[in-house]
Amino acid sequence: MIYQVVTTLSSDEVIRRAKRFFAERVPMQAAFPEKEGPTYVVLRGQGGEEIAIAALPAANGTRVRASTLLFDQPLDRFLATLPAVEDGAA
């Protein structure tokens, strides 16, 4: 499934928070960085399943797109922790 949100955080901060969240906050389904760059991280977890997260600058904040096949609930929980850009915010 693919998820998308817009946050007030920078790309670097989104990636930093994702790595920490999936290593510490979901112990039964932990996932750890396999590949990463300034605007993306691919996390590998249980059974080799992956979570791919990209965070790119947008006009009104940072657009975060994420996808996974197995980690839907933890990924949705992570995205809910990101401060959202309010409607109409520049």
- For helices 11-24 and 72-80, the axis angle rounded to 10 degrees is 130
Condensed to tens digits (0 to 9), the pLDDT of residues 29-74 reads 899 999 999 999 999 998 899 999 999 999 999 999 999 999 999 9
**How much is the pTM?**
0.90
In the predicted structure, residue 87 carries a pLDDT above the cut 80:
no
Q: Are 63 and 11 in contact (CB under 8 A)?
A: no
Domains in the chain, CATH or no CATH each: 2-80 (3.30.530.20)
